[in-house]
Structure 1
């Protein structure tokens, strides 16, 4: 059910083996261009003109062939190249000659070039990019973005790094990206969601998973998992068989986060939910969600005995980093129960417990918290999110959910990407709700990694449903629970 994701070098090796297996390289290029043409036609059926921006390599070759197909279909085609045709070589040169033979004109890019097509095809740079785009290619990307017309990117938006999803400088803003042979991890995380638009994966007849010695770098979650994961409950189910979640958080003056987490745990189907919080938050908890059993905690002594009663402990929302928070986190860490650690729980781990490692916990850092845990900068995290998530999982064990656009879940079996979610989630409390959902599913299922996959996906999909109905702006964390409840009852 999950789509494999690869790094650029792996896809190039798949390409090489496909050619070695008897498919001509130029024929494979024609397949790619034909797929891109169909992707273009399905999205812009009324377009009568297009501009194809071609680079110097095989990505540019795809563009030349697509230009020929468009000309043969009666469209008005502007072909712009950033390298003189006579300097091209190999399949790219064959592709350029094919377009010329089809009657497609060609102009070399200049700073004053006017882009005339209704839709722009980005065939400038492929998946080999590792750093910032400079020189003429940067100015060409600026021109594409300034044109404010829909863009179809071939294989990857130019300027985006295929292995990391980082855009170290300028990148093309595409409405759609059609990518070939193997889907790239860098299209699904980091900066990528701001540039790729819709992703249209075309394998070109290549069965990547048949090459067992080229294992996927990661896997893309799919909502088709939900139906089997949330099958109807047994008619004999009772609250004792549905797990007990304890949320520990809400230091004096910081009660909201823990209330969000505990209510989310209840809405995700936990049989019992308890809340250990500062005394002044008890009344608010009872008013907000009387189903949650609220315990007044003044310090470490009162917190110490609570984790033993729960199947899963969620610690961190509204915890604070003062003495109260330190005592509560220490109580959780001394328990053998599976943990979900979030927010200030993570900051305290970085500062007070730098060497603690567990197999039965989920850590849920955003990039800032991940940077503190790894002792690096936020820029370092965002420059290579997949590597950061895996490094943190290796160092701390268990499962790590690196939050952000294209959240990454690193666990013992590998790396998974969540392709859902939207900018409406850029508001306070979203992480607290996720923590509660994670705790609830762990308590019900008894596993750690698959629960992390499911909860992260349900959290993001719930936000998508909420945004679809009422818009992204103004989306609150507390809105998610009702939509999540629908998703877990398919």
Structure 2
């Protein structure tokens, strides 16, 4: 379906509530009328995804999400489908009560959920149990129904949000629906795009329900989805000096691969020159494997100093270690006052010696590293990735990339972008080293920290999706290097894009 002009905008639950009220006023309609629009959009989504389907079971909760389900049942019956309806409760409240009455008035039967019973054997289950207001674990009976739906082996359509998923954070505090398709209403919810949402949402569609542009213009989004972008074409008279000099610092004994991957990705992302400062024992292997990298053995700060002087951007941390050698190089590099990307052990050292950055800096922690920087458990980071990444950006006065499913990019002022690409095959060693090199290369080519982080995260994830066309399992970090080069030069291809 064509993208809506505001389809990249993501909102909090509170913002969506404001937009719903504004929509009712702007359209001059009642709550039930807006609910009927949602039901109609849901039926359209159902028909697009499963055009041959004849038998559907709709599961309704007591609130407005359940009301959407009751009206979907009315419309589906009118369209000639066989409809069964399972309700969590004997009564509905608010506008949902009228929707329930409309279903029953037409002869519709409501079957109350029996936690010890069986689901109807339908071709499709529709989740209309809980909407965006749920931020706790579902009640035990509802949890059993959710688990039964998930076990059914039948496809699932979720209305607005998969029940059990927190619409603000993407966290699931208890049982949660695993949908094949989710049709969300009016505006994008940020929790549908990061963390656990990747396993719950399935294919996501936005149905705006005819809401006018004035409603969207009146509420600034809390976050945005990244757009697919490439670097501008180079001038014909370009030379390597125009595109910066990245210095990758790291590679303690046994970890030469980390600096090679970071250095090679910096080259593939367009840096004019890339040097590597590492253990002397790694220089020969690096020269043999990738002669375009200028590898230098450094035994301490004195040997690092002339390399720092020539560099325009630092990539600090891949394979660095936290021993005396790594710590000394880390301190020396930070004192050089050069723009930098900080990753891996560069972040672990920062957790022990916190500081704010006066130079352009991009930090790229995974959730475990973010937890160490914040002094909390990893689970606390995953419970609210949005809050965690914003706090890290504020605390360190840097742009921060919180990696993972739906990677987040935040700046110290609270601006936040969400990556809609990437795949589980990228959960393998060396992927973070690649991202470090890519972002450093973009800084070296003149991007500011925000632009380098957003463009770098997008290129990295899209290269991962293109590389995974042969399958996700067994994907190597180095498999991304050629797709990365292609994507940096244009945006053609068939990688998955968001609506």
TM-score, length basis structure 1: 0.96
Unaligned ranges ≥5, structure 2: 491-499
Equivalent in the alignment of 2:185: 180
Contact 2:60 2:70 in 1 (8 A): yes
Contact 2:22 2:215 survives alignment (8 Å) = no
Aligned residue for 1:376, secondary structure, equals: coil
In the other structure, the counterpart of 2:394 is 394
Q: 1 CA distance for matches of 2:412 and 2:373?
A: 19
Instruction: Give the Cα–Cα distance (whole angstroms) in 1 for the partners of residues 199 and 475 of structure 2.
Output: 19
Q: Tell me if the contact between 1:303 and 1:328 (Cα under 8 Å) persists in the aligned partners.
A: yes
Deviations 1:138-185 (A, max 9, x none): 111111111121101101100100100001111001001110111000
Contact map agreement 1:71 1:103 (CA 8 A) in 2? no
Partner of 1:104 in structure 2?
108
Tell me: CA distance 1:395–1:121, structure 2 relative to 1, closer, same or farther (3 Å): same
User: Per-residue deviation at 1:364?
Assistant: 0.3
Q: Which residue of 1 aligns with 2:295?
A: 294
Q: Deviations over 1:384-416 (max 9, x none)?
A: 000000000000012000000000000146010
Structure 2: distance between partners of 1:187 and 1:404: 14
**Separation in 1, partners of 2:288, 2:173:** 48
C-alpha distance 473-262 of structure 1, shift in aligned 2 (>3 A): same
Q: Distance in 2 between matches of 1:30 and 1:446?
A: 47
Please say if 1:166 is aligned against 2:194. Answer: no
Secondary structure of residue in 2 paired with 1:152: strand
Shift in Å, 1:300: 1.7
* Counterpart contact for 2:338–2:359, Cα < 8 Å: no
Q: Does 1:367 align with 2:367?
A: yes
| Higher deviation after alignment, 380-389 or 357-366 | 357-366
Q: Secondary structure in 1 aligned to 2:445?
A: helix
| Aligned residue number for residue 318 of structure 2 | 317
Equivalent pair of 1:65/1:95 in contact (CA under 8 Å): yes
Q: In the superposition, relative to structure 1, how do residues 80 and 453 fare at CA in structure 2: closer, same or farther (>3 Å)? A: same
Partner of 1:262: 263
1:75 to 65, 70, 81: 81
Match of 1:90 in 2: 94
How far is 1:113 from its partner?
Answer: 3.2
Corresponding residue for residue 38 of structure 2 = 32
**Two-structure CA RMSD over aligned residues (Å):** 1.4
Inter-partner Cα distance in structure 2 for 1:460 and 1:268: 13
1:47 aligns with 2:48: no
Instruction: Give TM-score scaled by structure 2 length.
Output: 0.94
> In structure 1, what is the equivalent of residue 17 of structure 2?
12
- What corresponds to 2:220 in structure 1? 215
Superposition pairs for residues 166-245 of structure 1, below 5 Å?
A: 166-207=171-212, 210=215, 214-223=219-228, 226=229, 229-245=230-246
Q: Secondary structure at the match of 1:281?
A: helix
Q: How many residues align?
A: 482
What's 2:446 paired with? 445
Any conservation in 1 of the 2:167–2:190 contact (CA below 8 Å)? Answer: yes
Q: Which 5+ residue runs of structure 1 have no aligned equivalent?
A: none
How far, CA to CA, are the matches of 2:402 and 2:246 in structure 1?
Answer: 22
Residue 57 of structure 1, aligned match among 63, 78, 81: 63
How many angstroms does 1:357 deviate by? 3.0
- Deviation at 1:75? 0.9
Secondary structure of 1:392's partner?
A: helix
Alpha-carbon separation, structure 2, partners of 1:366 and 1:41: 39
Whether the 8 Å contact between 1:209 and 1:215 is mirrored in structure 2 is: no
Q: What CA distance in whole angstroms lies between the structure 2 residues aligned with 1:241 and 1:410?
A: 28
